[in-house]
Homo-oligomer: A and B are copies of this chain.
Amino acid sequence: MEMPTLFIGQKLIYLKKTESTNSFAIQLIENNPEKVMDGMIISAEQQTAGKGQFNRKWISNPGENLTFSLILKPSFLRPEKLFYLNKCICVSITETINAFAMNSCIKWPNDIYVSDKKICGILIENKIKNQQIEFCVAGIGINVNQTVFPEDITATSLKIETGKNIPKDSVLQVFCSKFEKNYLKLKQDIKHFDNVYLQKLKGVNKWQQFRVKNLTASLLIKGVDELGHLITQDQNGNIQKWLSGELQWINEP
């Protein structure tokens, strides 16, 4: 596959089947660090044990969707700024989805949505060695040609949204191109992503229902801070900061 980039995806390992592309990438880095380049991609037709957030499984019909891991070595980034890499990746995915004529947004912290349905999930695993980022592995699953999803999942795909079969390679090419531009921007001007991310943030400046342990709370979404906490305001004007996992979205009916 011809990749319209300088280094992102120029080295690509394609697997028919693997447990999880993130696990494959992490093992590769541990065993052969000298073979791993910034921007390398591990792509798989089928994951038998794909990983999602909070040790959930990532399930995807074999062959229908794009599932890959992007290996990065952002030596310019300090560990305390890691959430900016998440911002940069999320923004790049929305741009990729939008290139196929639709409007996507970022559902905090790590999902990409189109019209209230999930189209992409991201799992970023980082290795920090004595206060330095050694590598980041971003596992990305984009629903491309799958049209039937389990009943309990509110998901969509590029095919459902456009009505057309989309070659997975094209989606990967667009992503690599968008991400490369944004990654270079991140290196130059990290703060750029505060605003761009906020513009794409689902529900920003809107009241939203959340579940907090056994309670239901109505909270106004204000933004996301440097460390990735969601910033909200309640009806009394009090500001809260949340970790992912402390807060569950309750979807509008």
Contact = CB atoms under 8 A, between A and B. Distances in A.
Contacts of A131: 82-83, 86, 109, 227-228, 243-244
Contacts of A23: 30
Contacts of A124: 129-130
Contact of A128 (B30, B82, B109): B82
Interface residues of A, number: 29
A79 interface: yes
17 contacts: A27-B27, A30-B30, A53-B130, A78-B227, A79-B227, A80-B80, A80-B227, A82-B128, A123-B129, A123-B130, A125-B127, A127-B127, A127-B128, A128-B128, A130-B244, A131-B228, A132-B245
Contact of A110 (B86, B127, B130): B130
A243 B80 CA distance: 13
A229 to B, nearest CB: 9
Contacts of A245: 132
A53 B131 CA distance: 11
Interface string A97-120: 000000000000110000000000
B130 A128 contact: no
Contacts of A227: 78-80, 131
A147 interface: no
Contacts of A79: 79, 82, 128, 227
A26 interface: yes
A5 interface: no
A53, A80, A83, most chain B CB atoms within 10 A: A80
Nearest to A129: B125
A10 interface: no
A228 B83 CA distance: 19
A126 interface: yes
Interface string A213-233: 000000000000001100000
A19 to B, nearest CB: 10
A129 B245 CA distance: 13
A243 B78 CA distance: 10
The 9 closest A-B pairs by CB, nearest first: A126-B128, A125-B129, A131-B228, A80-B80, A53-B130, A26-B30, A124-B130, A127-B127, A80-B227
